[in-house]
């Protein structure tokens, strides 16, 4: 019997007992890189800092069920010590979350959906965002519900739903105060897969502004600009601003719009509504199974088609009204920061990391729902509709931002 001791990596050492030959250092290296490659019957004794379970599986794969992984007394003590140290370190590095704690957007170790389930939307502050109807695209045959989110692939998603799943129906969620829409029976769709897409808030806002200008310029695409914005719009309309070509002109209009005409107390156009309130449409009961990134639209619908044994079709696209993409880096710093502040709810509730230039201009805060003046509408519908252990005592996410300002109607 020959006993050889060699250190393989900085993570563990091996003591191999082999009846036939002394194993070379290269063999030990192959163990570290490729798994067990020892010839014959070998018992492996690990002075362990790596995964015992994993290596036991490797041993048995190479040597059959009789392959053994033995720990020395020293190794057992080391393993116990390492396990205890890991638990202690985990306890030390996992902060206790308390009501009032402030954190930066995009720093939670949660998915977008998990973060969104904790979103608090003050119904007074964000009331104007709920006054705009929203839509659900429902395919009963295929068990899908697409929750519309404008300027986050909504036209593409709607087109794909209609062309891939030809029984798709559009259901509109009207604003009816603090009540849910009684016109549709959504309980029959409880077992369906509910999904939506989200988009980085700064990029989405800029795209939404361009869409609003295009709609205002098109006489066949109501509504017209609100009264307070007519002078602003007419100024650029008289200049024959080419919204699909004139980059500098559109950039100037955007800067003027954000600095001089927007404080968040109104929503001048449907395409400037926040994502969080768009998805949590007050008129519709809501559940959500997934919030996907806008960049994954084709992959998501491909998966839906494959799961249903259907042909995929990535040629389904909508025609963009605007081919002009503004260079966001050219937008002035104050304007970019104000857009971040206006979009604070989406940064906090969808767990998007702030652009570097917006660091520190907004933050998120954990709040205790028991201390709120009234229940937020309709976020509790989202929380109660998903059986994942969330309850009324959980802390919720609020925003800390100078915008939006409280709407005049709410001040009264």
The DSSP secondary structure of 131-196, one letter per residue, reads SS-EEEEEETTTTEEEE--TTSSHHHHHHHHHHHSTT-EEEEE--BTBSPP-SS-GGGGTTSEEEE
The helix/strand/coil state of 282 is coil
Under 8 Å between Cβ of 4 and 43: no
- In contact, 326 and 102? CB cutoff 8 Å: no
Burial of 92 (C-beta count, 10 Å sphere; 0-12/13-18/19+): exposed
Residues 318, 320, 323, 324, CA torsion sign: negative
Low-confidence ranges of the chain (pLDDT < 70): 1-94, 174-186, 282-283, 285, 312-323, 374-393, 408-412
pLDDT of the residue at 317: 52
Number of C-beta neighbours around residue 58 at 10 A: 18
- The whole-angstrom separation of Cα 406 and Cα 320 is 34
User: What six digits make up the tokens of 320?
Assistant: 């963009």
φ, ψ dihedrals at 404, nearest 5°:
-75, 160
- Cα–Cα separations (whole angstroms), residue 174 to 17, 178, 281, 380, 402: 75, 11, 9, 19, 29
Alpha carbons 54 and 40: distance in angstroms, whole number: 21
Query: C-alpha dihedral over 108, 111, 113, 116, to 10 degrees?
Result: 10
How far apart are alpha carbons 333 and 269 in whole angstroms? Answer: 24
How many other C-beta atoms lie within 10 A of the C-beta of residue 255?
14
Q: Cα separation of 14 and 43, whole Å?
A: 10
Q: Rounded CA gap, 131 and 401, in Å?
A: 22
Three-state SS for 205? helix
**What are the backbone dihedrals phi and psi of residue 348, each rounded to the nearest 5 degrees, phi first?**
-75, -45
Using alpha carbons only, give the angle 259, 261, 266 rounded to the nearest 5 degrees. 125
Instruction: Report the helix count and the strand count for the chain, using DSSP H and E.
Output: 15, 12
pLDDT at 217: 84
Which pLDDT score is estimated for 156? Answer: 94
How many angstroms separate the CA atoms of 320 and 326, rounded? Answer: 14
- pLDDT number for residue 92: 53
pLDDT score, position 296? 96
Phi and psi at residue 276, in whole multiples of 5°? -60, -45
Q: Which of 122, 73, 186, 29 is nearest to 345 (CA)?
A: 122
Write down the pLDDT at residue 253.
Answer: 92
| Contact status, residue 205 vs residue 212, Cβ threshold 8 Å | no
What pTM value is reported for the model? 0.74
C-alpha to C-alpha distance for 132 and 175, rounded to whole angstroms? 7
Q: Which residues neighbour 261 within 8 Å (Cβ) at sequence distance 6 or greater?
A: 228, 229, 232, 268
pLDDT of residue 392: 55
């Amino acid at each position: 019997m020959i006993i050889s001791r060699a250190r393989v990596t900085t993570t563990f050492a091996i003591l191999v007992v082999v009846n036939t030959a002394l194993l070379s250092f290269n063999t030990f290296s192959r163990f570290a890189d490729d798994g067990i490659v020892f010839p014959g019957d070998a018992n492996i004794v690990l002075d362990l800092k790596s995964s015992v379970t994993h290596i036991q599986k490797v041993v048995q794969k190479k040597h059959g069920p009789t392959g053994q992984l033995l720990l020395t007394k020293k190794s057992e003590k080391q393993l116990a010590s390492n396990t205890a140290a890991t638990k202690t370190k985990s306890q030390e590095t996992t902060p206790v979350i308390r009501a009032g704690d402030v954190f930066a957007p995009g720093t939670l170790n949660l998915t977008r959906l998990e973060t969104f389930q904790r979103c608090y939307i003050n119904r007074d502050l964000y009331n104007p965002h709920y006054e705009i109807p929203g839509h659900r695209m429902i395919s009963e045959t295929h068990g899908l519900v697409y929750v519309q989110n404008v300027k986050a692939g909504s036209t593409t998603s709607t087109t794909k739903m209609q062309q891939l799943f030809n029984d798709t129906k559009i259901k509109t969620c009207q604003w009816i105060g603090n009540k849910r829409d009684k016109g549709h029976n959504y309980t029959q769709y409880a077992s369906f897969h509910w999904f939506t897409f989200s988009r980085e808030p700064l990029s989405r806002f800029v795209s939404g502004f361009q869409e609003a200008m295009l709609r205002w310029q098109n006489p066949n695409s109501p509504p017209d600009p609100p009264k307070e914005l007519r002078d602003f719009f007419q100024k650029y309309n008289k200049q024959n601003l080419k919204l699909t070509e004139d980059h500098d002109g559109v950039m100037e209009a955007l800067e003027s719009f954000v600095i001089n005409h927007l404080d968040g107390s109104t929503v001048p156009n449907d395409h400037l509504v926040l994502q969080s309130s768009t998805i949590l449409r007050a008129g519709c009961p809501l559940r959500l199974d997934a919030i996907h990134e806008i960049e994954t639209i084709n992959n998501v619908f491909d998966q839906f088609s494959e799961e249903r044994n259907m042909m995929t079709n990535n040629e389904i696209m909508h025609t963009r009204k605007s081919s002009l993409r503004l260079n966001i880096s050219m937008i002035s710093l104050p304007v970019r920061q104000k857009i971040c502040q206006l979009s604070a709810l989406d940064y906090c509730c969808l767990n998007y990391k702030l652009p570097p230039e917006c660091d520190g201009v907004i933050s998120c805060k954990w709040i205790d729902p028991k201390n709120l003046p009234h229940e937020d509408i309709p976020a509790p519908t989202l929380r109660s509709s998903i059986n994942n252990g969330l309850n009324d005592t959980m802390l919720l996410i609020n925003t800390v931002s100078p915008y939006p300002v409280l709407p005049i109607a709410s001040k009264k």
